[in-house]
Amino acid sequence: MARVNRADFLVMEPAMNMIKTAMLIAFMTALFMGLGFMIGGRAGMMIAFVFAAGMNLFSYWNSDKMVLKMHHAQEVDARSAPEYYRIVEGLAGRAGLPMPKVYVINNAQPNAFATGRNPENAAVAATTGLLERLTPEEVAAVMAHELAHVQNRDTLIMTITATLAGAISMLGNFAFFFGGNRDNNNPLGFIGVIAAIIVAPLAAMIVQMAISRTREYAADRRGAEICGNPGWLASALGKIAGAAGRTVNQDAERNPATAHMFIINPLSGQRMDNLFSTHPDTANRIAALKQMALEMGGGDGGFVAATPQAGIDRTRSGPWGRGDRPSGGGRKRGPWG
């Protein structure tokens, strides 16, 4: 049996992730239609299909605006947030992406997310907590991760899966109230009702979480390639995970359906890499980035270089380019001004 070397595997890995994601979305769509069949027979299945198509169409055009509004994101530009904006601009150029809209969220929890139906209509957002706590290199790595989601079309994929999961839960609630009616068209009787109420929503949640975790690993790898240093992203993930657990994100707690969009789970009490987690375990992600750094010949993975004590030449390092950093070793009061 022929062995697949590491280089070939790294080329195949993104394609395999996309195949897995497509299969999971297909399963989710079939589950939704099957749930409609359990509740109302063939007519119910068709109604479920039309309902799902309508919800996904609405989400396709409006999900980015809805999410940004939920988290009170404010758009910034090169004048209002020069350093932060310049970092995103440089990374977008390196990745070959159109310049996304750039947002800041006034929130102490360090975190970030990307949204938008395609690269031409994308937006990236970072909290003030992230911009204040991380070095410029770590901020660049985080935003590169988010641009990787944009490039991989993950923002659209996750919108579709979140919409389908929500619709399945709604149908489960519908079955709870109306599934027991003997006059309905439920072909499976009481068993179908139980499946609609419990099994289908649970399966949908598991699939949604599985897709989220698959895409996070892929975005970590591509983000590290965009920023050029896996160690920066590994360092950033460690800082974000540690601080996020000690800082409550009220907007995320009020809108838990958006948790999968963030680079680190913004909700409290979810740290395990299991079926019900929106994100992989941070330690696993950092380990994968360390391995990637070793493969790239980065030695210790750039962890020392990602810290301000390492004495980096700020005029040369990072995607913002030569000469963009302030001279004299002084740092601005914030990356946005």
Q: Select which of 146, 225, 253, 295 is catalytic.
A: 146
Is 216 labelled as part of a ligand binding site? yes
Is 149 labelled as part of a ligand binding site? yes
| Residue type at position 259 | A
Is the distance from CB of 38 to CB of 193 less than 8 angstroms?
Answer: yes
Rounded CA separation 56/160 (Å): 6
What are φ and ψ of residue 150, in 5° steps? Answer: -65, -45
Is the distance from CB of 253 to CB of 267 less than 8 angstroms?
Answer: yes
Q: Angle of helix 82-95 relative to helix 200-227, nearest 10 degrees? A: 90
Sheet of 112-115, strands arranged across? 73-76, 101-105, 123-127, 112-115
Q: Angle of helix 82-95 relative to helix 136-151, nearest 10 degrees? A: 50
Is the distance from CB of 130 to CB of 139 less than 8 angstroms?
Answer: yes
Rounded CA separation 113/28 (Å): 24
Q: Establish whether 13 is a catalytic residue.
A: no
Is 279 labelled as part of a ligand binding site? no
Element holding 115 (H helix, E strand): strand 112-115
Residue 199 DSSP class = I
* Residues annotated catalytic, as ranges: 146
Q: Which residues are annotated as a binding site for Zn(2+)?
A: 145, 149, 216
Binding residue numbers: 145, 149, 216
